Each structure stands twice: as C-alpha cells, then as structure tokens.
Structure 1
Amino acid sequence: MLFAARSAVALYRLLDVSPVFSGDHRITRLFTLVPGSDFGVDVLSAIEAVGGRTVPWSEACAGTYDLVVAASPKGDVPMLRGTHVLLPHGAGFNKSLPEEGSADSASGLDPAYLLRADDAAPIALHAVAHPEQLARLAAVAPQAARNTKVIGDPTLERVLASYPRRDHYRTALGTGPRKLLVLASTWGPDSLIRRRPELPAQLAAHLPHDAYQLALIVHPNERSLLGTYELTERLAPALDAGMILANPHEEWASVLIAADALVTDHGSTALYYAAPQDRPLVSVSRDCAELIPGSPMDVLLGHIPELGSAEAIEDAVRAYRPGTGRAAAQAAFAYQGSALNRLRGELYALVGLTPPVLGNPLRLLPDPAPAARAATAFDVHAEVTAEGARIVRHPAGMGPPGHHLAVEHGAATEQLTRSAGLLYRHSAPSTAAPADLSWSAGGWTRHVLAEYPGCRAAAAVRRDGPWLLDVRGHPQPYTVQVEPRPEGGRIARIDPAAAISAVHAWLITHRTKPAAPTVLTCHIGERSVRVLLRPATADETGREI
C-alpha cells in the first residue's frame, strides 16, 4: 500500500491511520511525496523521522498499488494507480479557501477535487467523520458522495485513548501545580500568529510564572512556510520565558490533553481539545473570511468568550460556559471511540483480506517534551507581612522590576548575575567522570557572596533538601524547608526558588536575624505554603551540592 502525502499535516494524519494494519506481514507500507504543494517541504524529513520507506514520485506513478491512501484530494494524487482511499486531514471541514477550487465549497469537500476525470483513478472510499459532512457533500455533488462513508476521526481516537495519561503528560511538561494555558494557531492570514503575533509574549509577561505555564501549537503548514528557525526567532521572547512550542507530529495532541484552557483561532485543533472533556475555551477573533457559516468551528467561536488584551485572559477563561465545547465536538465527530476499528474493516474489505486476530490499531500518544528554554532570572514582586510574604514572579525584563531580582547562577547572563539581589543554584547533575570537584552548600554560597558584592543572598537548592540560604551580614546560613501541601488526595510542591525568594524578601524587609526556628506562611502562585526557617547546622552547611 502507498501513503501519498502532499503536506506534513496530511502525512501526520496518514501516520495516525497506519496502525490499522499493525502486525500484518501481508501489508507493505510505502510513502511518497505528492509534488506541487507549498507545504511539502517537511514531508520527506518527517517520513525519515519515523523510519518510513520513501518511493520517488516518478517511481510511484509507474507502479500499481493495492491501496493508495491520501489525506488530501488536491494535486496529482489521481495519477497514482490503485484503489484510492481519501481521509480528512482536519476536523469539521470549517474552511473555504477562495483561491483554491470552488469558492463556496469547504476545503476537503470540494467537488472540483473529488470528481475525477474518466482516465483518473476513482476514490473507492472517502471517509468522513460525521453524517452532516456526508449530507453536505451529497447536496452539492451526489456522485462524489456515492462512495463516501461516515467513519469517525482516527486522530481523535488517539486523543480519546490517551486521555487517561493526562497527569503523565503534565509531569513530562513540568507543569506541576500550575495551570497550563495553550494557544492554538492555524495557518494563513487569519491565524493567531499572523493576526496577533505579539500575544504569546504578552501572555508570558502578564501571567505569573508560578501560577501558569504557557504552550503554543502551530499548524504544520505555517511551520513549513516559515521554517523552524524563523518561527522560533519570532517567538523568542515567549520561548525564553519558558513557553513550550509543541512538536507538530503527535506531541501537539499530548499538550492538548494536558491543557487546562485553550486560546484558539478558527483552526480545528479546538475541536480535538473539546472532545475528551469540557474545559475552558477562549477565542482570539470571530472575524474570519475563511470560516464557513454554520460549521462546527463557526458555531463554537460564536459561543465562547473572545479575548481582548492579554491582561484580560483570566476573566475570559472564567467567562467560559461549560457544555459549549463538547457540543461543537459532537457536531464534528461521530463514532467517537470506534473510528479506527470501523476504518480497519473498510480498508481490509477493499483489499480482500481478513484482518489478523492480533494487533491493536490504537497507539497512545507519546510524552511531550518540556520547554526547550526556561526562565532563569525573575523580577520578584513581594508583599511582606509579619507572618510571611506573598510573591509574584515574572521572567526578568518582561515587566517592571520588583522587590528583588532572583537569578539562577550559571544559567543566566553575567549582566543579570551581577545585578541579582538573590543568586541560587540547583544541585549539579551526577557525573560518571572518574574524578570530580564539587562544592559544599556553604562553600558555594560563601564563594558567590564574595564573587558578587552586589548580591544580598545566595541559596543552594539540594535535591534531597533542605535548602541552604546565606544572607550577607547574617551570622550563619539558614535552612529553608517547605511543607508539601495536600490537595484533594494529591501533594503539591512549589518551585524551591520561589520559596527562597519569599524567605529572602521577609528577612530583608524585617531586617531580622532569627536564631530559632521560625514558621512563615508564603503565598506563591495560587497557593499558600508553610515554610520552616531555621539556622543551619554545620553538617547541613557542609553537604555536597
């Protein structure tokens, strides 16, 4: 069988379907790049990444195949000889692209591409996801609808099957007790990153670091047009603040499952997000010339809050009304939970084979990768009370300065390091080197305070705790220990650097040098935690970091 892809997004949909033949030695899976698309630049590298065998286009056109499976009807796909199967490469058929085919037809349901010439291979099976899509096609092109069947959405099957791994994905992303806010951008002039390119950085600057994590999903077509380098350079301020840029193959869906809220344009990613569970959705714009009136995305965008400024994001998320997203997903996807098995039966019938007894077409989504970059310097805003402190951290340089600048030593620039009021470092990773030279906690804090005379405090964060905080002018270092916070059967742990900033702000403001154990109440992000502060023992000061 031959998988024919003319763009990266079409290839990824084909890869979601490929496991319907898993475990079958009678099936040989080949790939080819269909020429002519502006978005084909990443297809060959994506095939290579999964280890697929590629057939050059000229060779593909010379052969005959038992199955030719494509996720787009456009281009030269009809030139391939064999039994043709057409799959959707999105959800809902929400767009009409006036520059392609019929101006009033949904992209993917356009008779201009579905009705093939007499000398071209016919489409033996056109799989759609919902009865409404079949009815829409039958109304404009009965002949094209003749071999169309409602199967469901194979990509959604992976999302639904993988949803129990939500906590696992959040752990992989390093989300912790924070809320994960995801932005989803389609491609083209009305997309989020074209209309509001500044929004990711604005949200990264506005949202408190200890309360929110930010991620962005970009349509593969946009990646193909820009290239990864150009895209990441444009997004550099938000990426430097720790925003996750999801991989376009599989990982985007893992990030969707992990999300607590989604900010979307008119792209169909929002429908995959809404199907497993009803969580908040916010739109960036309802004004889109491509959007087909009455389509699932059009209905969805008309019923969810619209985001004005980045500063209004929390209010927009709270304004979402439960039920809206699930209703839109129900209008886009039928046979939720059984689409792959339905498709498996149809494809095996086309090739005249009985499916093997063994083999499972469902593949769980892989773990998403954590942010490639991380904020390593923070403007820390503090409200200090007699009992503790409330702090809000923002990546340095993305807003006004705060009570102090906290910088991770060895991870930020020398300029930021010399400007820091608080320097901290984490335990060094273990090494297999036969010889090693490492710091003790107290040795490192004394060294840093001597090396940077403008720094008021240094802290060593050990993996097994407690943490050591050395304040300039105080007679001895302190240990800092945060009590884990139970929450509904879970244990929430905060970033040690945030707790140390809270303790540092309290000590500096009160100009106190406690000689006995002291319990502080620190408010960090959306949580309050109890922090134990006490003078460090000689053993604790001398422990290796």
Structure 2
Amino acid sequence: MHHQPPSRLSIGRLSTVGYSRSVLFVVNTVASANRLLDIVPLFEMDFRVQLVFTTPPNSTVTDGVAEVFAALDVVAISWDEAVSRDFDLAITANHRGDLHELRAPVVIVSHGVGYSKKAAQSPEPRAQSPEPRAQSPEPRAQSPEYGLSPDWLLHNGKLVADTLVFSHEEQVARLAAAVPEALPAAAVAGDPCFDRILASTGRRPIYRAALGCDDDTTLIVASSTWRKGSAFGSWPTFLRQLLTELPPYHRVAAVLHPHVWHGHSPHQVNSWLADCVRAGLILIPPLEGWRAALIAADIVVGDHGAVTCYAAALDKPVVLAAFDEHEIVAGTAVSTMGTLAGRLDRDAPLLPQLARANTHWPGVRGLVSSRPGEAASLLRSLFYQRLELSEPDSGIVEPPLSATGLHPGTGVQAFTVTAEILDSIVHLTRRRTDVRPIPAGPSHLVVHADHPIREYRTNADILFTDHAGPALFAQAPGCRLLVDTTTGTATFRGRERPIRLHGCDPLIAASALFTVLDDHPAELRIIADGRPYSCTLSS
C-alpha cells in the first residue's frame, strides 16, 4: 500500500484543547484545495472542532498538495492513518480515491462550475496492492458524466457519499436520471466560490493596482483548463500570439489550471512561457489569485474551463481560444456559455476579434448557482447537522478575496520601436521583442540591462534599468541612451549630466528623445501606439 511521510502532528498528541469533533478534509489536488479552502473558514472560532487534512494516494495530480498543507500549517496525515481513524465528518471535492474506506460520514462538494464535464474514463484504479481487490467491480468503459454516474458514486452497489452537495437543481435532476438511489443524499447549497467572487467585485481597483494596471491599461485574462482540448493544450502559442499583436498598454495575465502547473511542473511551465513573461505576461499562481484577476479583467480569453464560465457569469467580455464540445454536458452553465461565445480564429489578427468579444450571457449566471449569496450559510448548517452540533453564535466567516497571488510581473523587458517625425510630433510604434522578430527596416531596440539574452543587450540602442550607471554603456557598444526608470532620467553616451524626463513613461520619452537625438526641444510631443503623450526635458 502507498505510504506517505508521517504527519507533522498526530491527532490527539500533545493536545491542549479538548475538542469534541474532528473533521477530515480530503484534498486530492491543488484544484480541489482551491475549492475546499472556501469551506475551511466556516469552522473558525469553534473550539469544539479540530480540522485534519489528508491526500488519497491515487489522485489525478497530487503534486503541490503537500506545499499547500505546509503553507497553511495544518495537521496533515497520511492516507493510511486517515483510514485507520474515526472522524465525525469527511469533506472532499472529488470522487476519486478510496473514499469508501473512510470511517466518517462523507460530504462531496463540487470542484468546478457544477457538474459540467463528461468523463473521458472511469474513476482511476484503486491504489495498487500486491493482490487485486476482488470486491471492486470492473469499471465501465466510459462514464457519461463526471461525478453523476454509478461508476463515480457507488462502491459495490452502495453509495459512497452520505451527502452530495450541488449548486443548482439542474444537477440534481441529472443525478435523479442517472443514479436515482443517490437522490436522498442530494443537497442544493449554491456555489461558495462564485459567492466570494460576487462579494469581492467592489475590490476591483485593489486587484488592478496589485497587477500593475491603471485606468488606461486594458487587462486581458487568458485562461486555460487542462487536457489536450484546452486552450493551452490545443493552442500552446496563443499567449505568445496575443502578446505579439497587442500594444504595450494591454496587459495579459494567464490563469492556467493547477493540473497544467503540477502535471508538467512549475519549472516547465515557467520555462515554456519565459519569453512571454519577458514580454510582460503575468502568470497567476495555481492556488490563489485567479478570481481576483477575473474581477480585475477587462476581457477574458478562455475555453470550456470553470474560470471562463465564471467570467461569463460576471458579464465580462469573453471570447474562446478553444472549446471542447465533446467534453461538456448539454444544458449546463458551461454549455450555455459555449453556445453564446465567439471563437478566436487563430489565423486572423486577434486584436479586432477581442474587440468583438461577447458581453451578453443570458442564463449563464442562473445556472452557476440557484442560491446566490447563500452558500456559506447553507453549507455551515449542513456540516453542523452532520456533526450533531449547534452552529456557533458567531457570524459566518466569508472573507473577501485577497490580492494574494497578484503581482505586476516583470513588465516588458525589450521593445522594438519604429519611429518617425510628422509635424513636429514623434510617432512611435512599440512591440514586444521577445515574442516578435526584430524587423529588417529602421527601428531601435530598447532593452533592460539585465535581459538574459546577451544579443539583445549588446545590440541595444537604449538600455534601461532601475540602477543606472555609466559603466553599463560598456555592455552595449551601440547604446546611445541609458535610462534610469526609478529617477526618470536619461544619459547620453559620453555625457555626464543626465536629462530629466517629465510627464510620461520614461521609456516612451527616451524613444522619442533617441529619435530626435541631439536636436531636441524642451518639450516633446509624442504619439506612442496611437496614444498622445507630452514630455518636458530638463537638466
């Protein structure tokens, strides 16, 4: 049998508080942790309850779960220990794993937007042991819907879960048709994930600021679920193509499913997208931040994943980079969103297509939850009924989403700039060098002094950094200007006194200054990427 490392703290060992109930959270994956962490606060401030966490050994992608437990600093025990102990309640967001082995009432909550996906295969085999378990039935060739068929809900003909929590009656109706004997276990309690999104929409300025976006910035959130039919699976270069076309005042934040991160490894994902990050891509971490990023977004590019559906439920402009029709159950919120959303043509310019993104989503929000704003209250009542405890007198804890996980990224680390002077106005077109080939025609190169590609540094016409010094000219023989972005100053090669740049982004001003060279006026009028700027110069 699979063995995990010993727990940080065994239950009851060195116990100080005499709690009367223990609740086991079964966390299969980081994606599951994302959903279960909305539920954990419902037990806050109750000295009667001890929370314990575990991971089944045969989950889809267990990588990253141990790090979540460590970050939370919780009591985390091995699966072997979990199935050898009695608990008063077990809560999970998955059907995989040997849940029938638990010695506790089991509550299964949804880990997506309802139950919207067809199952490509039956539940994964039980944890391997030297001899197969004779009592386990042969899995069916294909389960029609994930989580809503006998293969997912029954073990030896017996219902595994004591309670199945749904966000909408539509899901209960499908359950009744597929597994009628499971109907008594069904409970409708809304969607705690969506409730926290709705409750946090007023914090949009906080989230945008954390992402480095001001009022003039267009923020595009690009989302992908996992598997080959996803946006990232079927079109791995779609983030690069977006960044290639977009002007610098557009920012792109990528939300990739935790299974993408941990199925391939964070190192691999960062390696694949390194050029995009240098071109300004913001990578939202897999556990937290994606919901706040959705609220901050101006446009969402996605697929059939839950993130895209939540964006539609928020009435965001949404366009699809992929949509796996064969994976989605008809009549669900995701299916409705897919019917209404437009598809990106990857062979045509993307920017005009983003401008046509759909903004009207009739029926989507209603199918996400039939109990909007009520999930925390309904779930706490359900859990405490199962624990045979009165609910705490304290208010229900449902914190607004924090800005954790949001960051502005590195910004664009290299620009290729074409420039011309028309009627005393400097016209600049700036593009992200890392994702766009350097054109053969007239242009100049603006590069961060710490850029990892030496060719870009040594061929830079303008170097920029937050710690500028004349010695940096030595690494770029053709460099004419050195820009300190902290002080907003530019220094010409061979001159000691810097020029102060006032009124606009110092890199825009520096490109305009480079264009006019020595014959520069006291004030520069600039149009960069179609937007007007003015910059005054002083010694």
Residue 212 of structure 1: aligned partner: 250
Residue 392 of structure 2: aligned partner: 356
The count of corresponding residues between Structure 1 and Structure 2 is: 495
1:530 aligns with 2:534: yes
Residue 143 of structure 1: aligned partner: 181
Distance across 1 between alignment mates of 2:148 and 2:509: 55
Following superposition of structure 1 onto structure 2, how do residues 439-458 of structure 1 map, counting pairs within 5 Å?
Answer: 444=469, 452-458=476-482
1:244 aligns with 2:282: yes
Residue 461 of structure 1: aligned partner: 485
Residue 525 of structure 2: aligned partner: 521
Query: Quick one: which of 432, 439, 444 aligns to 1:395?
Result: 432
Distance across 2 between alignment mates of 1:6 and 1:468: 52
**Cα displacement string for residues 487-528 of structure 1 (whole angstroms, at most 9, x for unaligned residues):** xxxxxxx532123223332x13xx6243xx33x332234532
Following superposition, the deviation at residue 477 of structure 1 comes to 5.1
Q: Is the 8 A contact 1:377 1:412 kept in 2?
A: no
Q: Is the 8 A contact 2:220 2:253 kept in 1?
A: yes
**Cα displacement string for residues 26-57 of structure 1 (whole angstroms, at most 9, x for unaligned residues):** 11000111121231232222212211111211
Residue 181 of structure 1: aligned partner: 220
Q: Is the 8 A contact 1:83 1:121 kept in 2?
A: no
What secondary structure, in the 3-state scheme, does the structure 2 residue paired with 1:215 have? strand
Distance across 1 between alignment mates of 2:379 and 2:100: 21
What secondary structure, in the 3-state scheme, does the structure 2 residue paired with 1:28 have? strand
Residue 433 of structure 1: aligned partner: none
Distance across 2 between alignment mates of 1:230 and 1:473: 43
Following superposition of structure 1 onto structure 2, how do residues 32-111 of structure 1 map, counting pairs within 5 Å?
Answer: 32-100=54-122, 103=142, 105-111=144-150
Cα gap change, 1:170 to 1:117, in 2 (>3 Å): same
Residue 512 of structure 1: aligned partner: 519
Q: Which amino acid aligns with 1:21?
A: F
1:497 aligns with 2:507: yes
Following superposition, the deviation at residue 310 of structure 1 comes to 7.0
Cα gap change, 1:309 to 1:502, in 2 (>3 Å): farther
Q: Which amino acid aligns with 1:457?
A: L
Residue 540 of structure 1: aligned partner: none
Which segment drifts farther, 94-103 or 470-479?
A: 470-479
Q: Which amino acid aligns with 1:218?
A: L
Cα gap change, 1:109 to 1:474, in 2 (>3 Å): same
Cα gap change, 1:420 to 1:64, in 2 (>3 Å): same
**Cα displacement string for residues 398-417 of structure 1 (whole angstroms, at most 9, x for unaligned residues):** 23336211123345554323
Residue 12 of structure 2: aligned partner: none
Distance across 1 between alignment mates of 2:289 and 2:181: 38
Cα gap change, 1:357 to 1:243, in 2 (>3 Å): same
Distance across 2 between alignment mates of 1:478 and 1:82: 71
Cα gap change, 1:522 to 1:32, in 2 (>3 Å): same
Query: Quick one: which of 423, 440, 444 aligns to 2:463?
Result: 423
Residue 235 of structure 2: aligned partner: 196
Distance across 2 between alignment mates of 1:122 and 1:425: 59
Distance across 1 between alignment mates of 2:482 and 2:348: 33
Query: Quick one: which of 193, 199, 211 aligns to 1:161?
Result: 199
Cα gap change, 1:224 to 1:495, in 2 (>3 Å): same
Q: Is the 8 A contact 2:377 2:396 kept in 1?
A: no
Cα gap change, 1:53 to 1:476, in 2 (>3 Å): closer
Structure 1 unaligned blocks of 5 or more: 429-438, 483-493, 537-545
What secondary structure, in the 3-state scheme, does the structure 1 residue paired with 2:340 have? coil
Cα gap change, 1:349 to 1:315, in 2 (>3 Å): same
Distance across 2 between alignment mates of 1:448 and 1:334: 61
Residue 256 of structure 1: aligned partner: 294
Q: Is the 8 A contact 1:158 1:363 kept in 2?
A: yes
What secondary structure, in the 3-state scheme, does the structure 2 residue paired with 1:180 have? strand
Q: Which amino acid aligns with 1:195?
A: S
Residue 432 of structure 1: aligned partner: none
Distance across 1 between alignment mates of 2:387 and 2:497: 78
Residue 370 of structure 1: aligned partner: 407
Q: Which amino acid aligns with 2:106?
A: H
Distance across 2 between alignment mates of 1:218 and 1:476: 47
Query: Quick one: which of 449, 458, 477 aligns to 1:409?
Result: 449
What secondary structure, in the 3-state scheme, does the structure 2 residue paired with 1:81 have? coil
Q: Which amino acid aligns with 2:519?
A: T
Residue 35 of structure 2: aligned partner: 13
Cα gap change, 1:500 to 1:330, in 2 (>3 Å): farther
Following superposition, the deviation at residue 116 of structure 1 comes to 4.2
Structure 2 unaligned blocks of 5 or more: 1-22, 124-139
Cα gap change, 1:386 to 1:112, in 2 (>3 Å): same
Cα gap change, 1:243 to 1:361, in 2 (>3 Å): same
Distance across 1 between alignment mates of 2:177 and 2:494: 81
**Following TM superposition, where does structure 1 have runs of at least 4 consecutive aligned residues deviating by more than 6 angstroms?**
473-476
Distance across 2 between alignment mates of 1:66 and 1:297: 35
Query: Quick one: which of 38, 43, 46 aligns to 1:24?
Result: 46
Q: Which amino acid aligns with 1:6?
A: N
- Provide the identity percentage: 28
What secondary structure, in the 3-state scheme, does the structure 1 residue paired with 2:163 have? strand
Following superposition, the deviation at residue 78 of structure 1 comes to 1.4
Q: Which amino acid aligns with 1:296?
A: A
Distance across 2 between alignment mates of 1:450 and 1:30: 58
Q: Is the 8 A contact 1:2 1:68 kept in 2?
A: yes
Distance across 2 between alignment mates of 1:321 and 1:274: 9
Distance across 2 between alignment mates of 1:63 and 1:100: 28
